[in-house]
Amino acid sequence: MKDYSDKSILAVMAHPDDETFAIGGTLAHYTSHGAVVNLICTTHGESGDVNPEYLENYSSIAELREAELKCAAQTLGIRQVIFLNYRDSGMPDTPSNQHPDALMNAPLEQVAEQIGVYIRQLRPNIIITHDPVGNYFHPDHIATHRATEKAFHLAADPSISLDGGLPACQPDGLYFYTMARKRMKWLLWLMPLLGMDPRKTGRNKDIDMERILNTEFPIHVEINFKPEDPIREEASRCHASQGGGHRTMSFYGRLRRRLAACTDAYMQAYPQPQNGRVRRDFFEKE
């Protein structure tokens, strides 16, 4: 069995639930093999509607979602969860975009410096974040992607002094979580046959699969997390207010899971990829 006990990963994601629904399988895979995983969550995920029954014991949506994230993090074996305390910007063209505390309105430099300080403190081997289109054009995912990419370079530059006077840190790799387009193409073909609109998918019908498929990123690493899928499933139950834990048993739901095949795909942003070979492990040599 692989032993990653000398490795650490820092994941930088936008909302409570991205650590589970997006990369939960990957995180569970590495913590199960001994790696230290820390998480920066840039917002509290307070936009959108929540069924009032979930709010009974909480004073706000932000508090509920923070509690859900802590539950999921414990399940996934994440050591530390750090909140940057920006406000969820909501999907494009929603009123949440206008809020002065929304992440999308924060200066990129400021967010990058905050993340850069944590990179220097935690000194991870690798960093994971959203892809350049924020996986599905969510403004917070895009802002988190940009800030993390900038932070990666700030943290590594010894000429830049970040808060705390910590020495520079050059992690071994920077990876962007992305959706494997070849699998999505099957869904795009199938959805109209099932009476579904590919331009309005997801829980809030705000994910446009056609638009996503007009973009594409190379895949350099694919992580298979089949043995850890039950852990990811358990973590998803922590996010009950976001529909977690309800496996849809419809034909579409089952097909989507089968196509996903317990695999997370990543683009390698650093170092420059040497060849087109897809690796099965971040720590496998190119």
Query: Which residues lie near Zn ion (CB under 5 A)?
Result: 14-15, 18
Q: Does residue 44 contact residue 83 with C-beta atoms inside 8 Å?
A: yes
Residue 28 or 103 having the CB closest to Zn ion: 103
Residue 69 or 112 having the CB closest to Zn ion: 69
Residue 18 or 131 having the CB closest to Zn ion: 18
Strand duo 173-178 + 221-224: pairing: unpaired
Strand duo 263-270 + 173-178: pairing: antiparallel
Q: Does residue 282 contact residue 221 with C-beta atoms inside 8 Å?
A: yes
Residue 8 or 42 having the CB closest to Zn ion: 42
- Tell me how far, at minimum, the Cβ of 141 lies from Zn ion, in Å: 6
Residue 177 or 282 having the CB closest to Zn ion: 177
Query: Cβ neighbours of residue 24 under 8 Å, at least 6 residues apart?
Result: 72, 76, 231, 232, 235, 236
- Tell me how far, at minimum, the Cβ of 43 lies from Zn ion, in Å: 8
- Tell me how far, at minimum, the Cβ of 41 lies from Zn ion, in Å: 9
Q: Which residue is nearest to Zn ion (CB)?
A: 15
- Tell me how far, at minimum, the Cβ of 46 lies from Zn ion, in Å: 12
Q: Does residue 93 contact residue 104 with C-beta atoms inside 8 Å?
A: no
- Distance (Å, rounded) from C-alpha 111 to C-alpha 144? 8
Residue 90 or 173 having the CB closest to Zn ion: 90
- Tell me how far, at minimum, the Cβ of 64 lies from Zn ion, in Å: 16
Cβ-count burial 245-280 (b if 16+ within 10 Å, e if not): eeeeeeebeeebeebbebbbbbbbbbeeeeeeeebe
- Tell me how far, at minimum, the Cβ of 102 lies from Zn ion, in Å: 14
- Distance (Å, rounded) from C-alpha 276 to C-alpha 120? 31
